[in-house]
Amino acid sequence: MLDFQALAEAKADARQINDKVQQRFIETYDSAVSQVMALHQLSCEAPERRLPERLLRQAVDTLAKAIDLKPSAAQPYALYSCLFFLMEDLPRARKYLQTARELNPGFPKIAALEALYNDFEALEALHQQLPADAAPTPPRIKPLETFDDFQLADI
């Protein structure tokens, strides 16, 4: 005979655990957004300087925790993509952007990041075509206008 009371209690317990995991995901992801925003700001202020390794590691660790908590969410992968772009690792940036696209093709930040990466590649290609004696400055990364689309409004 089924114990409906025990079944209802188990369902309530499972819901409570899911709610706690969701809240931890939101807090962790929001922290990652703040960390990547700070790195982005540093990159825009001094594009010729390397980003601080300690801050990069913190952002990577925080994003990894967010993905562990909710691997089906596209937002952390898109933010990882942005982080790798800041580290000038375009192949990894594109890889994580593709993962975000597979998880949520309608996520609005995907198109903006894809356009940014394409523009950057075009600038780099033009930079490579200039004569060596022209002493050009390296291409500048156009700052992201906003991090609003990285917010978790749709979760």
Residue with structure tokens 């703040």? 34
Structural domains of the chain, count:
1
Is 138 part of a structural domain of the chain?
no
Residues 13, 89: Cα–Cα separation, whole Å = 43
Is 68 part of a structural domain of the chain?
yes
pTM: 0.78
Got the DSSP string for 1-69? ---HHHHHHHHHHHHHHHHHHHHHHHHHHHHHHHHHHHHHHHHHH-TTSPPPHHHHHHHHHHHHHHHHH
pLDDT in tens, 13-27: 788 888 899 999 999
Is 148 part of a structural domain of the chain?
no
Residues 36, 72: Cα–Cα separation, whole Å = 20
Is 144 part of a structural domain of the chain?
no
Is 137 part of a structural domain of the chain?
no
The mean pLDDT of 69-87, rounded to a whole number, is 95
